[in-house]
Amino acid sequence: MSRILIIIEQSENRRLLAESLSKYYEVAIADSVVQAGKAVPLLDEPFDLCILDGPALDRLWEWVQARKHKEQPVFVPFLLITVRPDVKLLTRHLWQTIDELITKPLEKLELQARVEMLLRSRRLSLQLQIALEQERELKEQKSRFVSIVSHEFRNPLNVIYGFIRLLQQRDFPKEQQYEFFQRIQAAVSRMVALLDDVLILGKSEAGSLASNPVELALEPFCRKLIEEIKFSTNTKHTIDLKCEDECFIVHMDEALLRHVLTNLLSNAIKYSAPDSTIQVRLQCKSETVIFQVQDEGIGIAPADQERLFESFYRASNVGKIPGTGLGLTIVKQAVERYGGTIALKSKINVGTTFTVTLPISSEIS
């Protein structure tokens, strides 16, 4: 609801004006300004329109100018209620401060029309400012995105290029060649994963994520996925899957589930010690499936948890551990678009647990 500040000298006029406007707007009255001849704390509070009379403007015109300057580029309107002699007296301040004026005696319909027009201009100004801020933020995000993705691609490309050069320059024992090829394969896998993240993020933000639910045996699917991740990352972690309920065939989007669990498991591997254990719990309810991925890693500070799902945001304690800050953003968007939820619990140097709840029949909403 729009908030109107009234600064009128005569108490009865203040009361009548407030009574009329309070039917449609929130009204605040600065009833001591004119008598005291100075600004009171109420003048520092937010409002969408200020209605004042000639004596108030004569005493507070500097405050009016300062308030307008403070809110720029957002438009904050001031409406003057006056009699014609006041207009002559206030000419020196009038056009520098006032956006609209109305003369006494007041007509209710005219007053309401003037008020609504000024408030509409205020709303449009606020919307424009929000749009400009969003555009500026989007440009900054795009710039960060190009920088981060370029850096993330450059590292595996350097690895691939370096080992290929080595293999071209001389013959190595087969065991060492195999090690080189494993590193090249790992670098290619990182690039493919990053490309998948970028593509899914683009589709999610464009609202074009396709839904393809299939019949899926959850427990075998999870066990196979864990083996694939262990092989592709060459991790020494112990990944323990516990199925707490009987999970039979469900109707879910396999690509969505694979992407979500791969991101969560990859993060658990990345941010925990190589000899630690990662717990994966699977619970099948009547209408939902719950997945929990728990690690014994570095943990996430409470201040970072609030922003963890924002694009490009990374926790303050990740140090030199590589990453783009896109994975969890994509996971959250994908999960929510399929009608699910994601939550986390974490403690520094203890570990993190992510809990994903998905409907058994997962369709994009």
Q: What is the pLDDT of residues 235-262, one digit of tens each?
A: 889 999 998 777 778 888 888 888 899 9
Last residue of a domain, one of 182, 206, 230: 206
Q: Please check whether residues 224 and 326 belong to one and the same domain.
A: yes
Percent of the chain with pLDDT over 70: 87
Q: Cβ distance 354 to 335 under 8 Å? A: no
Query: In angstroms, rounded to a whole number, what is the distance separating the alpha carbons of residues 259 and 324?
Result: 16
Instruction: Tell me which DSSP letter residue 8 carries.
Output: -
CB 200 within 8 A of CB 209: yes
Arithmetic mean of pLDDT, 184-213: 74
**Confidence band, pLDDT 50/70/90 cuts, at residue 94:** low
Confidence of residue 350 (pLDDT cuts 50, 70, 90): very high
pLDDT at 91 over 70: no
CATH number at residue 58: 3.40.50.2300
pLDDT of amino acid 127 = 92
The domain that holds 175 is classified in CATH as 1.10.287.130
Which structural domain, as residue segments, surrounds residue 163? 141-206
Mean pLDDT of all residues in 204-224: 80
Distance CA 6, CA 178 (A): 80
pLDDT of residue 143: 74
Shared-domain flag, residues 150 and 171:
yes
280-291 mean pLDDT: 89
Question: Could you give the CA distance from residue 266 to residue 228 in angstroms, rounded to a whole number?
Answer: 11
Q: Is the pLDDT of residue 34 over 50?
A: no
335 and 218: one domain? yes
pLDDT at 271 over 70: yes
Q: Which two tokens stand for residue 341?
A: 């939820």
Residue 129 lies in a domain: no
Nearest residue to 152 via CA among 324, 29, 15: 324
Q: What is the pLDDT of residue 296?
A: 94
Say if residue 260 is in the same domain as residue 338. Answer: yes
Q: Among the three residues 106, 131, 152, which one is the final residue of a domain in this structure?
A: 106
Q: In this prediction, what percent of the chain has a pLDDT beyond 90?
A: 29
Could you tell me if residue 177 is inside a domain?
A: yes
- Is the domain of 220 the same as that of 317? yes
Q: Phi first, then psi: what are they for 239, rounded to 5°?
A: -110, 110
Write down the mean pLDDT value for the chain.
83
User: Residue 206's pLDDT band (boundaries 50, 70, 90)?
Assistant: low
Mean pLDDT for 10-20 is 86
Q: Is residue 126, in this structure, part of any structural domain at all?
A: no
Per-residue pLDDT, 210: 67
Q: How confident is the model at residue 37 (pLDDT cuts 50, 70, 90)?
A: very low
Domains: count for the chain: 3
Q: What single DSSP character describes residue 253? A: E
Query: Which segment of 181-185, 299-303, 323-327 scores lowest on mean pLDDT?
Result: 323-327
102 plus 29 within the same structural domain: yes
Burial 279-294 (b: 16+ CB within 10 A, else e): bbbbbbeeebbbbbbb
Residues 85 and 165 reside in one and the same domain: no
Domain boundary among 187, 206, 225: 206
pLDDT at 155 over 80: no
Find the CATH number of the domain harbouring 272.
3.30.565.10
Q: Which is nearest to 317 in space by CA: 295, 302, 296?
A: 302
Residue 163 and residue 281 in one domain: no
Residue 315: which of 358, 271, 278 has the closest Cα? Answer: 271
Which helix (H) or strand (E) segment holds residue 336: the answer is helix 327-337
Q: Are 70 and 46 in contact (CB under 8 A)?
A: no
In a domain, 114, yes or no: no
Decide if 29 is inside a domain: yes
* Res 292 pLDDT > 80: yes
pLDDT at 362: 54
Asked whether residue 246 is assigned to any structural domain, the reply reads: yes
How, if at all, do strands 100-103 and 78-82 pair? parallel
275, 178: one domain: no
Answer whether residue 113 is part of any domain.
Answer: no
- State residue 347's pLDDT score: 94
Asked whether residue 97 is assigned to any structural domain, the reply reads yes
And the tokens for 52? 């004042």
- Tens of pLDDT, residue by residue over 110-147, are 888 999 999 999 999 999 999 998 888 878 767 766 76
Are 194 and 296 contained in the same domain? no
Whether 159 and 285 share a structural domain? no
On whether both 220 and 342 belong to a single domain, the answer is: yes
Question: For residue 358, what are its two tokens?
Answer: 């998905």
CB 45 within 8 A of CB 29: no
The pLDDT score that the predictor gives to residue 36 is 47
